[in-house]
Amino acid sequence: MNAPDRPRRGVHAPVRHDSAVGHVTGRAAYLDDMPLPPDTLQAALVLSRHPHARILRVDLAAALAVPGVVAAITAADIPGRNDIAPILRGEPALAEGVVEYAGQPVAAVAATTLEAAREAAALVVVEVEELPAVLSVEAALEQRLYVAPPQVMQRGDPDAALAAAPTRLSGEVRCGGQDHFYLEGQIAVAIPGEDRDMQVFSSTQHPTEVQHGVAHLLGLPLNQVTVEVRRMGGAFGGKESQATIVAGIAALLAAAAGRPVKLRLARDDDMLATGKRHPFLIRWEAGIDAEGRILALDMILAADAGNVADLTPAVVTRALCHADNCYFLPNVRVTGLSCKTHTVSNTAFRGFGGPQGMLAIEAVIDRVARRLGLPLETVRERNFYGVGRDDVTPYGMTVEDNLIARVTGELARAVDLPGWRAAVEAFNAASPVVRKGLATVPVKFGISFNLPTLNQAGALVHVYTDGSVHLNHGGTEMGQGLFVKVAQVVAEAFRIDVAMVRVSATSTGKVPNTSATAASSGSDLNGMAALNAALTIRGRMAEVMAERFGVPAGEVGFDDGRVFARNESLSFGELAQLCWERRVSLSSTGFYRTPKIHWDAATCTGRPFFYFTYGAAAAEVAIDTLTGELRVLRAELLQDCGASLNPAIDLGPDRGAFVQGMGWLTTEELWWDAAGRLRTHGPSTYKIPGSRDVPPVFNARLLADAPNREATVFRSKAVGEPPLMLALSVWLAIRDAVASLAPPGTAHRPRRPGDAVRGSWRRSGARAARGVVAYLEHRRAAGPDSRAPPRLP
């Protein structure tokens, strides 16, 4: 690591990212920059053009005849098992017998140049018999096509409570998918070794899963496959299971050719072939009282899984576990459905079902507030989890660390929410065309993998005789700052400068059997594993120091790069040298498993999370009701990070996740045509937020003096995913802006798309403007991928 600007010992300090200088100067090397062996081949994929078809014949003859082509493969050439499923089974790397989405890899070619590989791939002949394709969640629901069994989470008697409720409401909302659009696309380099060994360099969040996938495809034991990753240029969940497709095919080609193979997907192929965030269709019915309290809720969360299960069952589980958000639901049934469609298999994406579940309950809360004519914040407060009462989630976990009221209250006071709202209302009173909206959102997000088995990590620490430290762990660096945060943890354990700790590339050959760097748990898991390794070494060093100066080991102290024994001291490096001379090991592994968690998948009950993290946001938007143009003018974020390991690093994901969530809810749209082909597969047709889309007033703060009550690494909390849900404030602000067009006295009544503008204008062009606003409201409420026009009354 580069030396910091000034000495900093370890945790809770705003230490810069270990690759910060490399990122801005271009010296940080990514996989595409890696020097390759001189005989390395370049690879290209052959993708299906049909969403569902039976493969009759794949002819590679023309491809093999292209000068420079060394190998071409189909599923028939796989020596092992053609299955890279992360959870279930039957998910092929190359289509076998049938294709189930347009963009599915059918064959692959390796050649001496990328141009030759692409030319050859275009010449592969794939003869098929087209089959009926299911291209929507509705069609899948009608045919009861699922990739996994339904999941039902229930508490109380929702049917009886609905029947007895004074008021019943129902609704439907959609949220679209989202492409990960990482800056560095999917890429892998596979290098064959002796006795069929395979070294794989992969841009992956989950080296162990890539190791397993490659071993299955090649028919090898795991110890013959080593996977390494130094850094990724973004991932967001898209390189958790999806990276195995690319690495597996590269390894197959390398084994077939007996030469190294590099496979890097072009942006279009990447978007066509790899999975996205799950679109959801949400239907609900709620029973409420006159004060806006939810007495009963019956909700269906139907996820578009795509063609295979991939990680969908786990995504649906997490969606169910976040369909309560911050609210106590006394009688509730939430049904999760993993719908099979003939589209690309959807997969992990930042939030992992949490955003969809929270959007669902926030739609319910918003509808309740408008029906009763109450402020949204008032309805929320009446439904918040309590402290010592009404504090058990629908899945049976007690909310023990409730910071909801504190976080929402601090945000409201910090931004003068009443004054802000008054300014928005004053603007709207004088502006018939451009309308502003303001909304807040609270967030309660559970931290841990829902599957308890995955909540474990390992680390390896070496101390050298000059006092420098080598650190390796199972976490992967994708720009989020995990490496520097874990290095700070080790530096804190030894009480040395973080500049003395060097983190090496993640490798299955150093730390085995790792979990994905996902679920916002990278620092929690790997930080604790590294801390345990460092403390083991420190204990040995303390014993040597105690023996050297004749004091009890308990009186040995470490601080500021030195080790003290009463009135004597040695530098950390001097003590390391002494340990070596005394033949004491300065190397240790470390291991950590998250305590307290358990989960019963059959009943959807348990304690799936070690703790919750909290946040709140407020957003202001403006909409031109004549054109539909939208601007997010201001966003205020407050995020609970416990005792942050590195406040400077944690503010990065806080802002970045919000903007990414904003894109999901506003500009990003995945659109398939009637033939099941994705048409938005590049930056010209798929619009992620740009620098000018970031709110001009954008403030992010970390909650102060709120250490984690659970024994996490130095009482910190996770930050990677939770702030994405804060962007729901933008979606709700859009709804608020559109609702402001309603005549006085009707702003809170139930409405359909288009109702909000009735009678709002008395000038020429009113009907055209009304249609624009109705369409805008429909699109924002229904989700980015909804294309059916609304019906005007």
Residue 441 in contact with residue 376, Cβ under 8 Å? no
What span, in angstroms and rounded, lies between the C-alpha atoms of 318 and 237?
14
Residue 680 zone, left/alpha/beta (φ > 0; ψ -120 to 50; rest): beta
Token pair in block for residue 148:
């996994």
Write out the two tokens for 126.
């794939």
Q: If we measure between CA atoms, which residue out of 442, 447, 583 comes closest to residue 525? A: 447
The DSSP line for 498-544 is GGGEEEPPEETTTS-SPPPS-TT-HHHHHHHHHHHHHHHHHHHHHHH
Q: Residues of 404-427 as b/e, b for ≥16 C-beta within 10 angstroms?
A: bbebbebbbeebebeebbeebeee
Helix (H, G, I), strand (E, B) or coil at 415: helix
The tokens describing 219, both together, are: 């028919």
For residue 15, the tally of other CB atoms under 10 A from its CB is: 28
Q: Please list, residue by residue across 442-465, b when 16 or more beta carbons sit within 10 angstroms of its beta carbon and e when fewer do.
A: bbbbbbbbbbbebbbbbbbbbbbe
* DSSP-derived pairing of the beta strands 587-593 and 98-99: unpaired
* Active-site position among 477, 492, 721, 777: 721
d(CA 20, CA 222): 35
Element (H, E) at 228: strand 225-229
Angle, vertex CA 284, rays to CA 281 and CA 286, nearest 5: 165
Dist CA 534 CA 531 (whole Å): 5
Integer CA distances (angstroms), 714 to 94, 589, 718, 777, in order: 45, 20, 12, 45
Structure tokens at 323: 């369909």
Give me 462's structure tokens.
Answer: 């070496």
What does the alpha-carbon distance between residue 92 and residue 779 come to, in Å, rounded to a whole number? 35
Look-up of token digits 């499923």: 85
721 is catalytic: yes
Helix (H) or strand (E) holding 633: strand 630-639
Contact 131, 330 (CB under 8 A): no
Angstrom distance (rounded) from CA 402 to CA 408 = 12
Cα 130 to Cα 48, 101, 121, 153, 328, distances in angstroms: 11, 11, 21, 39, 49
Sheet of strand 125-130, all strands in order from the earlier edge strand to the far edge: 98-99, 53-59, 125-130
**Structure-block tokens of residue 58:** 């794949």
Of the candidates 338, 342, 166, 195, the residue with the CA atom closest to the CA atom of residue 255: 195
Number of alpha carbons in the 13 Å side-chain half-sphere of residue 560: 3
Q: What is the number of helices (H) and of strands (E) in the chain? A: 19, 29
Biggest CA–CA distance in the chain, Å, is 94
Closest CA to 406 of 379, 375, 385, 427: 385
**Residue 159 DSSP SS3:** helix
Report the C-alpha gap between 211 and 222 in whole angstroms.
7
Determine the 3-state secondary structure of 730 from DSSP: helix
One-letter identity of residue 670: L
Measured from the Cβ of residue 708, the count of other Cβ atoms closer than 10 Å reads: 23
777's enclosing H/E stretch is: helix 766-782
Distance CA(722)–CA(454), nearest Å, equals 19
Report which residue type is found at 133.
A
- Residues noted as catalytic: 721
